[in-house]
Structure 1
Amino acid sequence: METWEIDFAARPWVDAQGKKVWELLVCSRSGNYRYFAQCSQKEVTRAWILDNLGKAMVESGQKPGQIRFLSPSGMLEQACIQLEIPSRMSRRVFWVRRWLYDREQNVYPTYEGYCPQPLSSIPPQPLPDPLVAQRWAFVSLCAADLMGISTDRLFGEVFPLDLAPETVVPGLVFFSPRATAMAAWMQGVEPVAVQFCDKERLILEAGAGERWVVVRPRDRAIQQEASLFEERKIPSQGFHFLAIQAGVDSEEPTGFWTLWDTPPS
């Protein structure tokens, strides 16, 4: 049974009465189904969510095997319990995040009553000891090869990509003799994105909002590699990946995750 990704939250615009407008975005992990609904602040109830999830299931002809949701919502969690669908909050909801990013860039600014919300993030912290690698390297794969990777025997998660097979997808590999333990730990923290920030820090984003400094590259050649890593996110539409291997000569990774970040402007 398929996983659905959902975001239910107030959006950055208000209606004629000056009240926040809420939106429910639903999409399948395969990317072949979407459902959209809006409501006013006073309509935000568990009953409204149940009604619209029911409509989505009828329209799609399926009941999802699980639901991952982006924004915290006790009402959505309770609705999922009532529908007997396992659910949890996660930022590894790349299809719904891409949809939301498109609306933030191209839809909401066209609305009367648009109120842009300032972006905020917590200061990055040192990388936890269990995730400190012996070595690391920037690498790349074509989209076809990336989609051919199976995580059945690995830690990790590979997402379907709507990219041309020859598209170059950038990545970061951690090398460590503790690869199995590191990959198990990484699985628990749910990696979301790797970013080269301010041209001075390589940041790993994970979990609900964690940000960790992988390295502060001082060498000019490494800084150039990091900049190229960011540039390659443009043709890959923000998709990139993280891998963990025991060593450079290992035949396959111990862990592999597809990641997504808003493409560099």
Structure 2
Amino acid sequence: MATLSFNSTRIKSPSLQSHKPFSKSHFSTKPNNVPFLFPSKTHPQLHRFKPNSISESSVSVPEEAFDDAEEDDPTSELSYLDSETDPSSVTEWELDFCSRPILDIRGKKIWELVVCDSSLSLQYTKYFPNNVINSVTLKDAMETISEDLGVPLPEKVRFFRSQMQTIITKSCKELGIKPVPSKRCLSLLLWLEERYETIYMRHPGFQKGSKPLLALDNPFPMELPENLFGEKWAFVQLPFSAIREEISSLDERFVFGAGLDLDLLGIEVDDNTLIPGLAVASSRAKPLAGSLDEWIGSVFSRG
């Protein structure tokens, strides 16, 4: 038996920046209001510490009060790195750079950059007006993430929106990063779904009745390329315990494909549960596996 429930505990809720110094290489939160979006009458203001205004001993304010104030502000931005995460271990980012169902004071759609890693140890969001959307803006923003959080630029950046491929690819290549169009951005997709409910719908500029942020693709049937034909095919099934052993090999040796973070999804599967699949026999198994992995990635990146 398998059960499914989204594990939302990994998603960081933005909290006010502490008035005590900290190391950027371990943890940073920078909730920022976006002044060009709304006039002061409709734009919630954050309560912040005012240095030297009162002594720390004269008043005690519960930290939860500031967390609640920040969580109530859907216009805030997030810059976060888990304090227990080694910055050098974050080698792949998942990135989305697209308009949101939110209008600014000019009646134009707001754009947002959302970046995370697969474990959600790194989380970053930033709003942009629609008249600065280009590869230079994205390149500068990626460099800012690296500098502010003290993490190196990633080796790879995964993204799932094909309409943004030109801008993202150009920005990545200028920084020496490999862009990877892929729907294997599970953490990012789940986070965006969560942000739609908790952030975008509560934003003062939210457009009611707007199209879904993550519309499902419905691609037309495609012929399988000849180089992916196997000599024999068979429908098979393996117990989950055997599948788990194969998944562990992704980290231990070079194989094609990618694993699925079941913990993030909150999925529990019994070891004896049979998992269906398709086995392909071929005298050129390794080239076929590589071509199949590349083909699936290119198909999933469309739409």
The TM-score range, normalised by the shorter chain, is 0.5 to 0.7
CA separation of 1:84 and 1:183: change in aligned 2, threshold 3 A:
closer
How many Å separate the matches in 2 of 1:173 and 1:9? 35
Q: State whether residues 27 and 96 of structure 1, in contact with CA within 8 Å, keep that contact through their aligned partners in structure 2.
A: yes
Higher-Rg member (1/2)? 2
1:57 to 119, 141, 146: 146
Q: State whether residues 95 and 114 of structure 2, in contact with CA within 8 Å, keep that contact through their aligned partners in structure 1.
A: yes
The two structures have a TM-score, normalised by structure 1, of 0.60
Q: Deviations over 1:140-193 (max 9, x none)?
A: 62699368521325322224443599811884411232382653332122369x
Residue 75 of structure 1 aligns with which residue? 167
1:156 to 236, 245, 257: 257
Compute the displacement of 1:47 (Å): 3.4
CA separation of 1:45 and 1:191: change in aligned 2, threshold 3 A:
closer
Residue 244 of structure 2 aligns with which residue? 145
CA separation of 1:33 and 1:161: change in aligned 2, threshold 3 A:
farther
Q: Deviations over 1:192-215 (max 9, x none)?
A: 9xxxxxxxxxxxxx43238xxxxx
Compute the displacement of 1:32 (Å): 1.0
Q: Deviations over 1:6-40 (max 9, x none)?
A: 11011122223221111101112343111110111
Gaps of at least 5 residues in structure 2 are 1-88
1:173 to 269, 273, 277: 277
Residue 116 of structure 1 aligns with which residue? 210
Q: State whether residues 143 and 164 of structure 1, in contact with CA within 8 Å, keep that contact through their aligned partners in structure 2.
A: no
1:207 and 2:300 aligned: yes
Amino acid in structure 1 at the alignment position of 2:295? V
How many Å separate the matches in 2 of 1:15 and 1:143? 52
Residue 95 of structure 1 aligns with which residue? 187
Tell me, what secondary structure is at the counterpart of 1:162?
helix
How many Å separate the matches in 2 of 1:37 and 1:70? 18
Task: Work out the number of aligned pairs and report it.
Answer: 197
CA separation of 1:159 and 1:123: change in aligned 2, threshold 3 A:
closer
Q: Which has the higher contact order (CA 8 A, sep 6+)?
A: 2
1:128 and 2:224 aligned: yes
Q: State whether residues 111 and 129 of structure 2, in contact with CA within 8 Å, keep that contact through their aligned partners in structure 1.
A: yes
Question: Moved runs in structure 1, 4+ residues, more than 6 A?
Answer: none
Q: Deviations over 1:47-84 (max 9, x none)?
A: 32233212210133222112222222433322222222
How many Å separate the matches in 2 of 1:137 and 1:166? 22
CA separation of 1:69 and 1:110: change in aligned 2, threshold 3 A:
same
1:187 to 293, 297, 300: 293
Cα RMSD (Å): 3.5
How many Å separate the matches in 2 of 1:174 and 1:209? 23
Gaps of at least 5 residues in structure 1 are 193-205, 211-265
Residue 243 of structure 1 aligns with which residue? none
How many Å separate the matches in 2 of 1:34 and 1:121? 26
